[in-house]
Amino acid sequence: MTRSKRETERKYDAPSADDTSWFPELTGVDGIAAVVERGIDELDAVYYDTDRLCLAGASATLRRRTGGADAGWHLKLPLSGDSREEVQAPLSDTVPDTLRDLVLSRSRGAELTPAVRIRSTRRTWHLVDSDSAVRAELTLDRVRAESLRGTSTLAAWTEMEVELAEDTDPGLLDQVDKTLHNNGVDRAGNPSKLARALDVTGLGAPRLPDARAQDVVPGSAGDDVLRYLDKQVRALVDLDPAVRRDRPDSVHKMRVACRRLRSTLRSYRSVLAREATDPIRDDLKWLGGELGAERDQEVLMERLGTRIAAEPPELVLGPVVARLKAWNVTNTAEARRRTLEALRSPRYLSLLDSLAALTERPPLRRKAARNPKKVIVKGILKEYDQLTERMAHALELSPGTERDTALHEARKSAKKTRYATEPARASLGKPAKRLGKRVKAVQKVLGDHQDSVVARDALRDLALAAHTVGEPGFTWGLLYGREQAVAADRERELPSLWADASRSRLRKALTR
């Protein structure tokens, strides 16, 4: 059993843990009515990581801590700004399987062993408002760190930490920070105790390998593409724990990261050798497909549920809502199983290794060193030309199944073209952004059209199931007709949107 919380905090260097005469006056800062001391705790934490310190290099920490009110296993994952998510599990002798799974995208299956032991004598104060509600917690730690690998090395320091209470306005942290700074208390140079311990005990400050530190010409086509790929790989790795815990929109975001990676490797084959990237593209296609079952079910359920809710009650005949819910439970369970099996599979671990190698040791081709305006523009226009062909073919067909299929293929080309413009924004700027925005508008309409096609297939199946047991089919047929009307509306919108996206000046601007 695990539980999680969001923590927002800042760390500061402190001159002393015993003599607090230097302690700034915080009463009156942004509604703080009193600073209440809560006592002293002795904390003992052992931090686990891989031999290469992959967790610390990805700004994650895993520790087993005794002492204090929250003894147990703590996994901290980075969020935006000063925030992190802390996932807690009960105290045990070995790393809990649930936490081992949550770090898998970072550890890539490598063994997790003790790296550093950190013991802290902690004094705690609560910053409370006039209603005695705790708005933040301030801790002062006398820290002793010890390396558990190789020669044992000891280090000691004192630090202070201010952590916001749940639902507290982040502005309080800024106000406290300002007061501390004005009183000579500065932010710590390291983001965490572990980072400082690794530094001062000689294990080394880890970091993710930087593709640009390789033989990549700054400002080149290779530089642009690798920067973008590195961002998407990090997105995929960071999203893994959220997908495993079924967090809202996480499957969708991870699937998008897969698509962006796959599309970029396709569009810029002139930059990265396809002998290395084609197998990665195959694995990304597989992963996107496994995630797609769950994501597609989410989209379809939301669409159908919204449609039913919008109908007047007198037009909803029979147990429509109950049937939809039962259908969703069955399909969601199967889709969820596929997602989790994919994330536990050897193929997924192999993909993570391949993506790490791609950014650490990129298989650069000769054109990678060239000006991005020559190389990247060519990649964008190649995808655009395929989009043009598919759009022309789709628009000349009469409405029906064949046209639906053609529009779906055009949608996939629109995505590839849009994704191809994204790595180009660093060097091409607004022209790449403008073209991507126009193509996105086309993609959006084509997406709604395809969702309507999928919804109609589902509605037909639901109607047949209802008919089999003697339930009224009226509402399912009504909804089917609504979706036909949506598809017709999108097809009418498409020509004008495509005309805007296909203006020659948008493409010419890329080469200026």
Q: Residue 409 is inside which H or E element, if any?
A: helix 401-421
Note the helical H segments in 204-273.
221-244, 250-267
Question: Domain segments of the chain: what residues?
Answer: 3-200, 214-367, 371-512
Q: Which residue in 136, 138, 134, 101 sits closest to 123, CA to CA?
A: 138
Q: Tokens in use for 468?
A: 């089999």
Determine how many CB atoms are found less than 10 A away from the CB of residue 1: 7
Residue 270 amino acid letter: S
Could you report the average pLDDT of every consecutive run of 10 residues in the chain (512 residues)?
Answer: 89 84 88 94 96 92 94 94 92 96 96 96 95 94 91 86 92 93 90 87 56 72 95 96 95 97 96 96 98 94 96 96 96 96 97 95 93 91 97 95 97 97 93 97 98 97 96 97 97 97 95 84
Instruction: Give the predicted TM-score (pTM) of the model.
Output: 0.89
Predicted local distance difference test score (pLDDT) of residue 447: 97
DSSP per residue, 166-218: TT--THHHHHHHHHHHHTT-PBPSSSSHHHHHHHHTTS-------GGGSS--T
- Secondary-structure percent of the chain, ordered helix, strand, coil, rounded to 5: 55, 20, 25
Predicted local distance difference test score (pLDDT) of residue 215: 74
What is the rounded distance in angstroms from the CA atom of residue 261 to the CA atom of residue 309?
37
Superfamily (CATH H level) for 3-200: Hypothetical Protein Pfu-838710-001 (2.40.320.10)
Q: Tokens in use for 466?
A: 């209802």
Predicted local distance difference test score (pLDDT) of residue 76: 96
Domain 3-200 and domain 214-367 have a common topology: no
Predicted local distance difference test score (pLDDT) of residue 208: 45
DSSP per residue, 322-366: HHHHHHHHHHHHHHHHHHHHHHTSHHHHHHHHHHHHHHHS--B-G
Q: Tokens in use for 242?
A: 């959220």
> Within a 13 Å sphere around the CA of 176, how many CA atoms are in the beta-carbon half?
28
Predicted local distance difference test score (pLDDT) of residue 214: 56
Helix axes 274-310, 346-360, angle to 10 degrees: 120
CB 411 within 8 A of CB 443: yes
Name which CATH class applies to 214-367: mainly alpha
Predicted local distance difference test score (pLDDT) of residue 204: 62
Q: Cα-flanking dihedrals φ and ψ of residue 41, to 5°?
A: -125, 150
